[in-house]
């Protein structure tokens, strides 16, 4: 699906923005870049900002008009920061991403970004089948071109299901293991004078609450028990005791 998503930059002015957009695309698994009537660009700056995404930059295609750039695309989503009667149906990148990807299963789709200075013209927006408006502060709704490309590309990447978050390898610690850990810490805190025996129950309820927020796996609990053992050993040495 992502291979069928085309990022279209209309009239870009700065090579750095084009390079940064290439990097954003590569980060999110996109590679099809089209430039429409770009201004003379500083390509050295573009290559510098693209970093390792040189293949996206080198593979770009240039067109004279937006209509030519999206001629083979089914869904064409134009981005806009302005509001108004004909922009009232604009959707967020998050909301529109599933529809774009659904259409991308059958053929090319395009996400169109306007000029750094004034965005897309009404005539260019008329070519678009959908409008995207990135949620932002009403006090300053205009985003940097590369930042807008990154946000839209991110939503498409997440919606594609390509990314799989890493799984916790350590199993959940069982109750018996956690109780051993709490017993070790209770004895240690008593030994070092952090709490007194008559207040131990109350204090350990707080300790349990703190540890239970983060110490959930066997690895977590083993680390905390290891800390308790080492502290207990050091405390015993200082007191001349033998454990």
Structural domain spans, the chain: 2-160, 175-239
pLDDT for 82 equals 79
Closest by CA position to 58, among listed 68, 50, 69, 66 = 50
* pLDDT band at 86; cut points 50, 70, 90: low
Report pTM: 0.76
Give the pLDDT of residue 84. Answer: 67
Report pLDDT for 87.
65
Q: Which two tokens stand for residue 116?
A: 């750094």
**Residue-level pLDDT at 241:** 59
Residue 221 has pLDDT above 60, yes or no: yes
Query: Which tops the pLDDT comparison, 123 or 214?
Result: 123
Dig out the tokens for 87 from the structure.
């922009």
Task: Please choose, from the candidates 159, 154, 87, the residue with its C-alpha nearest in 3D space to the C-alpha of residue 125.
Answer: 87
Beta strands 32-36; 61-63: pairing state? parallel
**Which residue stretches of the chain are H helix?**
15-27, 43-50, 54-58, 66-69, 93-104, 122-127, 145-160, 175-191, 200-214, 218-239
pLDDT grade for 147, boundaries at 50, 70 and 90: very high
Q: What pLDDT was estimated at residue 240?
A: 66
Give the largest Cα separation in the chain, rounded: 86
User: Distance of CA 124 to CAs 47, 95, 112, Å?
Assistant: 28, 22, 9
- Distances in Å between the Cα of 42 and the Cα atoms of 45, 63, 143 are 5, 18, 21
**Predicted pLDDT of residue 242:** 55
Tokens 């260019």 label which residue? 124
By percentage, how much of the chain surpasses pLDDT 70?
A: 95
In tens, the pLDDT along 15-41 reads: 999 999 999 999 999 999 999 999 999
pLDDT at 211: 78
Residue 27: count of CB within 10 angstroms of its CB: 15
Tell me, what's the pLDDT at 243? 53
Pick the CATH number of 175-239 from 2.60.40, 1.10.1760, 1.20.272, 1.10.8: 1.10.8
Among 37-51, 150-164, 188-202, 210-224, name the one with the lowest average pLDDT: 210-224
CATH architecture of 2-160: 3-Layer(aba) Sandwich (3.40)
Q: Looking at residues 201-205, what average pLDDT do you find?
A: 88
pLDDT band at 77; cut points 50, 70, 90: very high
Q: For residue 94, which phi and psi values (nearest 5 degrees)?
A: -65, -45
């Amino acid at each position: 699906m992502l291979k069928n998503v085309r990022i279209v930059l209309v009239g870009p002015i700065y090579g750095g923005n084009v390079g940064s957009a290439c990097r954003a695309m590569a980060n999110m698994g996109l590679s099809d870049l089209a430039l429409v009537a770009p201004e003379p660009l500083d390509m050295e700056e573009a290559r510098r900002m693209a970093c390792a995404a040189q293949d996206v930059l080198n593979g770009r295609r240039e067109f004279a008009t937006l209509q030519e750039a999206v001629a083979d695309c089914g869904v064409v989503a134009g981005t806009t920061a302005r509001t108004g009667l004909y922009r009232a149906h604009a959707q967020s990148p998050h909301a529109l991403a599933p529809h774009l990807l659904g259409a991308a299963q059958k053929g090319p789709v395009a996400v169109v970004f306007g000029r750094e200075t004034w965005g897309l013209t009404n005539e260019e927006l008329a070519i678009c089948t959908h409008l995207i408006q990135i949620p932002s502060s009403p006090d300053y709704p205009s985003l940097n071109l590369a930042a807008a490309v990154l946000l839209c590309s991110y939503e498409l990447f997440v919606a594609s299901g390509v990314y799989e978050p890493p799984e916790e390898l350590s199993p959940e610690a069982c109750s018996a293991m956690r109780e051993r850990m709490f017993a070790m810490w209770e004895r240690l805190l008593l030994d070092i004078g952090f709490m007194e025996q008559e207040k131990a129950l109350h204090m350990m309820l707080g300790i349990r609450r703190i540890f239970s927020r983060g110490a959930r796996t066997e690895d977590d609990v083993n680390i905390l028990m290891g800390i308790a053992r080492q502290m207990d050993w050091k405390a015993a040495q200082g007191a001349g005791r033998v454990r």
